[in-house]
């Protein structure tokens, strides 16, 4: 019985290591999103930090449209990061069998 607990502890340590590696990998990713047919482009990293914004000059005189397109692009970029995190976590968990088999 105690051997199983030891194996469980090793498995949990391995999962923690993998989770740390996954977190670093996710944070280093970069996502680009365009809205308004490419009039606005937002670049965001895996930490959900906006790292770059490109705005077409034609939007500079239309504040309302610019605001709407920026909000949409930032929300889409954040959703991409979250979806990527979920898919990566599910991928990591799909390889774990708590019963020791493969």
pLDDT tens digits, 73-85: 999 999 999 998 8
Query: Does 3.30.1310.10 match the CATH number of domain 2-94?
Result: yes
Domain ranges of the chain: 2-94
Is residue 12 scored above 90 in pLDDT? no
Is residue 97 scored above 80 in pLDDT? no
92 within 8 A of 5, measured Cβ to Cβ: no
Q: 55-65: b or e for each residue (b if 16 or more CB lie within 10 Å)? A: beeebeeeeee
User: Which pLDDT tens digit goes with each residue over 56-78?
Assistant: 999 999 999 999 999 999 999 99
């Amino acid at each position: 019985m105690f051997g199983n607990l030891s194996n469980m502890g090793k498995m949990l340590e391995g999962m923690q290591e993998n989770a740390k590696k996954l977190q670093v990998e996710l944070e280093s990713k970069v996502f680009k999103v365009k809205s308004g047919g490419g009039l606005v482009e937002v670049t965001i990293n895996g930490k959900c930090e906006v790292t770059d914004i490109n705005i077409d000059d034609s939007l500079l005189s239309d504040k309302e449209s610019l605001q709407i397109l920026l909000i949409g692009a930032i929300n889409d970029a954040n959703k991409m990061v979250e979806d990527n995190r979920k898919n990566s976590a599910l991928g990591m968990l799909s390889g774990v069998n708590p019963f020791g088999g493969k």
